[in-house]
Amino acid sequence: MATTVTSEPARPGYRQLLRTPGAWTFLLPGFAARLPFAMLIISIVLLVQHTTDSYGLAGAVSAVTGVSMALFAPLSGTYADRFGQRAVLVPVVLAHTASVVTLTALAWFDAPVWALFVAAVPTGATVPQIGPMVRARWGTKLHGSPLMTTAAAFESVTDELTFVLGPLIATALCTSVHPAAGLLTEAGLTLIGGLLFAARRSTQPVPTRAAARPGATASRAGTAHPSALRVPGVRVLAIAFVGIGTVFGGLQVSLAAYTESIGEPGLTGVIYGVFAAGNMIAGTVCGAVAWKSAPHHRLVIGYLALAITASGLWAAQSPVLLAGLGLLVGMSIAPGLVTGYTLVEQLVAPTARTEAFTLLTGAVALGQAAAVTLAGQLEDRAWEGAGFLVPLAGTTLALLVLVTLRNRLAPPTDERGAARGVGHRVPVSVD
């Protein structure tokens, strides 16, 4: 049964958040299961580039993986909302493990290019949506609590911790052990971590199919399962998250090309880790601040900072300068991610939140896929460092849309929104 956390006299913060009953039972296996995703794209890029000697092809294969994930992630979230997370996770984890092993074998044994693209489709389609599922579990535990903002920040920090460790681990394995070691490790960690997370059934949200009234199907249970896509604010957030994805994808390919050009391929994971560390630090701060401004206003301001900082990446001429700019870009991404996920809790009914979270995760993957493709082509065909123009273009275009449609992100004030318990959140401080 869902646990509702009520307001307490104690000051809400990270310490109180982590004392939520049952939280650690899904946090630890959830971290182990989401780490492999941070290794996936960079491992594909490094392996395919090694076997084909083309960043353009490596980026294209990675892009197919990302697009496939973006298309299938919302479906995974919808089914998780309806039938339960475990019912979706177990077959998805098994299928993803098999798909990654297949793609690795095809790349290493010089299979035709078309076979790599075919194998990339199920690899992306079966990426387990652990992050959105963890966020949905927090929503079940903290429904109606001001700790939801802290939980959103905590999850952003956790995501970025995986993106500090994931690329470092993948790059070290691919460059020091074997070019295929990154992907094979990703498959093994997904299998173990995903099954452990799926086994924690007591903390998963109640499936809407089980909650529907007798005789009603999941799709006909009235408003039991409204689609998150029907919420205008979610569609705006998705565009903003596509722009964030262009930063992730553009940096991964462009950093790999840059570090190889200077004869230091091992620096890819280090510089990308600095970028992710900036995101992690800023995410921690976002959860510690007692915000007084509305979330949709903070999102626009944070996104403006992201577009400005991303504009300087293409001009960096040294690893130190590139790492410094990457740190600033990472610190600018966190406010957008934290605020965006917080807005989901305000805009979307509980029965569709996993779907909404997976839509945003898929949007990041879609932006990442497009950026990997474009950056790879630019690195192959244009000047060195041209791939860094992709994050600039992606964030600028998304910012224009965000500014134009920002009013759609305001929480609903009608009776339906009030019935969901949606409204202004109490400012959150940190212990």
Per-residue model confidence as pLDDT tens for the chain (431 residues):
444 444 443 445 778 888 888 888 888 888 888 888 888 988 998 899 899 888 778 878 988 888 888 888 878 888 888 888 898 999 999 999 999 999 999 999 989 999 999 999 999 999 998 888 888 888 778 776 777 777 877 887 787 778 768 877 898 899 889 999 999 999 999 999 999 998 888 788 877 765 554 444 443 434 445 677 778 888 889 899 999 989 888 887 888 787 887 777 777 778 877 887 787 788 777 766 666 777 777 888 889 999 898 888 877 777 888 888 888 988 888 888 888 887 887 787 777 777 888 888 888 878 887 887 888 788 777 777 778 888 889 999 999 998 898 888 776 664 344 334 333 333 333 33
Reduced to 3 DSSP states, what percent helix, strand and coil does the chain have, rounded to the nearest 5? 75, 0, 25
> What count of Cα atoms within 13 Å lies in the side-chain half-sphere of residue 400?
5
Predicted confidence at residue 229, as pLDDT, reads 72
Predicted confidence at residue 195, as pLDDT, reads 92
Question: How many angstroms separate the Cα of 373 from the Cα of each of 60, 251, 355?
Answer: 5, 12, 27
**310-327 b/e (C-beta count within 10 Å ≥ 16 → b):** bbbbbebeebeebbbbbb
For residues 330, 336, 337, 343, the Cα torsion angle rounded to the nearest 10 degrees is 170
Q: Is the pTM of this model over 0.75?
A: no
Q: Decide: 154 and 31 in contact? Cβ < 8 Å.
A: no
Predicted confidence at residue 374, as pLDDT, reads 86
Measured CA to CA, the distance from residue 66 to residue 376 in angstroms comes to 14
Identify which of 320, 382, 367, 280 has the alpha carbon closest to the alpha carbon of residue 66.
Answer: 367
Q: Decide: 316 and 378 in contact? Cβ < 8 Å.
A: no
Measured CA to CA, the distance from residue 378 to residue 384 in angstroms comes to 8
Measured CA to CA, the distance from residue 18 to residue 39 in angstroms comes to 27
Q: Can you tell me whether residue 227 is helix, strand or coil?
A: coil
Q: Which amino acid is it at 134?
A: V
* Backbone angles phi and psi of 378, in degrees to 5: -65, -40
Measured CA to CA, the distance from residue 336 to residue 399 in angstroms comes to 11
Measured CA to CA, the distance from residue 162 to residue 38 in angstroms comes to 6
Among positive and negative, which fits the CA dihedral 8, 10, 11, 12? negative
Question: How many angstroms separate the Cα of 366 from the Cα of each of 38, 172, 295, 359, 399?
Answer: 15, 26, 24, 10, 17
Q: Decide: 163 and 38 in contact? Cβ < 8 Å.
A: yes
| DSSP one-letter code for 208 | H
Measured CA to CA, the distance from residue 415 to residue 417 in angstroms comes to 5
Structure tokens at 410: 């305001």
| DSSP one-letter code for 203 | G
End-to-end, the C-alpha distance of the chain in Å comes to: 29
Instruction: Name residue, tokens 């294969």.
Output: 61
Q: Decide: 239 and 364 in contact? Cβ < 8 Å.
A: no
Instruction: Name residue, tokens 């929480």.
Output: 411
Q: Can you tell me whether residue 286 is helix, strand or coil?
A: helix
Predicted confidence at residue 209, as pLDDT, reads 66
Question: How many angstroms separate the Cα of 250 from the Cα of each of 157, 170, 196, 225, 243?
Answer: 21, 17, 33, 36, 11
